[in-house]
């Protein structure tokens, strides 16, 4: 998660999705991945905390009542449940979809190409207002078409990072903070773009939600 640092430290990370209810739409940001997808693509230990359907039920929704899925990117752990949302429009950057269908060999095992076919995509390019108060931000580097999601809340602007990060990416040690205000995500297609994207999120957000941080995955309701 933290490029050039902490190589010897093992950590647990979260595979999560976020549900946002507006007056008109049920919006899902990523969909996580079920055990059958994780065991196919992931070679390390994992534990299922809550099945996708149970998680949606806890907020009064089902896969069929999800109107929109915003895919931060199309790595397997972020879209493993997306095909279950049969009625949803899938918002994805054009560059991400193109890379997913023809990935570089270094990322070949990261994109579940067969799973991605047949979904109802809305391709976008760059930043875009999805609905009032919710905006996607193109933050390339972790992947070509990675996108963060900013949400206006009563507590300020919350930004779901989009790229794979933990809170340590946004709070480097004081001794290097002057040079590196953020830490580049550990997995990236372009380290310079990834650094700049992390810096943009750190400077933009009042509340940074790092997409793989265990504590951020357990955040209480944000109005």
**Where is average pLDDT lowest: 38-47, 109-118, 157-166, 213-222?**
213-222
Q: Residue 123 in contact with residue 87, Cβ under 8 Å?
A: no
Taking only the tens place, the pLDDT of each residue in 133-188 is 999 999 999 999 999 999 999 999 999 999 999 999 999 988 888 899 999 999 99
Rounded mean pLDDT, 41-57: 93
Tokens of 30: 């990523």
- The whole-number pLDDT of residue 203 equals 95
- The whole-number pLDDT of residue 219 equals 77
Q: Which domains does the chain have, with CATH numbers?
A: 18-217 (3.60.15.10)
- Taking the C-alpha atoms of residue 56 and residue 67, their distance in angstroms, rounded to an integer, is 13
Tokens of 140: 């390339």
Distances (CA, A) of 66 to 41, 85, 164, 203: 26, 6, 24, 31
pTM of the model: 0.94
pLDDT band at 51 (very low <50, low <70, confident <90, very high): very high
55 phi and psi angles, rounded to 5 deg: -60, -45
- Taking the C-alpha atoms of residue 169 and residue 75, their distance in angstroms, rounded to an integer, is 19
Q: Is the pLDDT of residue 223 over 80?
A: no
- The whole-number pLDDT of residue 217 equals 87
Tokens of 52: 């996708």
Taking only the tens place, the pLDDT of each residue in 58-86 is 999 999 999 999 999 999 999 999 999 99
Q: Is 171 exposed, middle or buried (0-12, 13-18, 19+ CB in 10 A)?
A: middle
106 phi and psi angles, rounded to 5 deg: -65, -20
pLDDT band at 222 (very low <50, low <70, confident <90, very high): low
Q: What is the 3-state secondary structure (H, E, C) of the chain?
A: CECCCCCCCCCCCCCCCEEEECCCCEEEECCCCCHHHHHHHCCCCCCCCCCHHHHHHCCCCCHHHCCEEECCCCCHHHHCCHHHCCCCEEEEEHHHHHHHHCCCHHHHHHCCHHHHCCCCEEEECCCEEEECCEEEEECCCCCCCCEEEEEEECCEEEEECCCCCCHHHHCCCHHHHCCCCCCCECCCCCHHHHHHHHHHHHHHCCEEECCCCHHHHCCCCCC
């Amino acid at each position: 998660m933290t490029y050039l640092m902490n190589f010897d430290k093992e950590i647990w990370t979260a595979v999560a999705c976020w549900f946002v209810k507006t007056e008109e739409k049920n919006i899902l940001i990523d969909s996580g991945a079920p055990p059958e997808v994780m065991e196919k693509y992931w070679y390390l230990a994992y534990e299922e905390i809550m099945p996708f359907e149970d998680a949606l039920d806890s907020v009064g929704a089902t896969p069929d009542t999800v109107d929109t899925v915003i895919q931060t990117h199309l790595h397997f752990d972020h879209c493993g449940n997306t095909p279950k949302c049969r009625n949803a429009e899938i918002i994805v950057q054009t560059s991400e979809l193109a890379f997913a269908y023809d990935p570089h060999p270094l990322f070949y095992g990261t994109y579940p190409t067969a799973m991605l076919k047949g979904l109802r995509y809305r391709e976008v390019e760059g930043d875009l207002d999805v609905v009032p108060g919710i905006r996607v931000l193109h933050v390339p580097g972790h992947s070509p078409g990675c996108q963060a999601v900013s949400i206006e809340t009563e507590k300020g602007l919350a930004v779901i990072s989009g790229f794979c990060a933990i809170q340590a990416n946004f709070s480097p040690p004081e001794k290097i903070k002057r040079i590196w205000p953020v830490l580049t995500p550990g997995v990236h297609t372009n380290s310079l773009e990834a650094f700049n994207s992390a810096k943009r999120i750190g400077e933009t957000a009042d509340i940074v939600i790092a997409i793989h941080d265990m504590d951020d995955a357990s955040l209480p309701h944000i109005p």
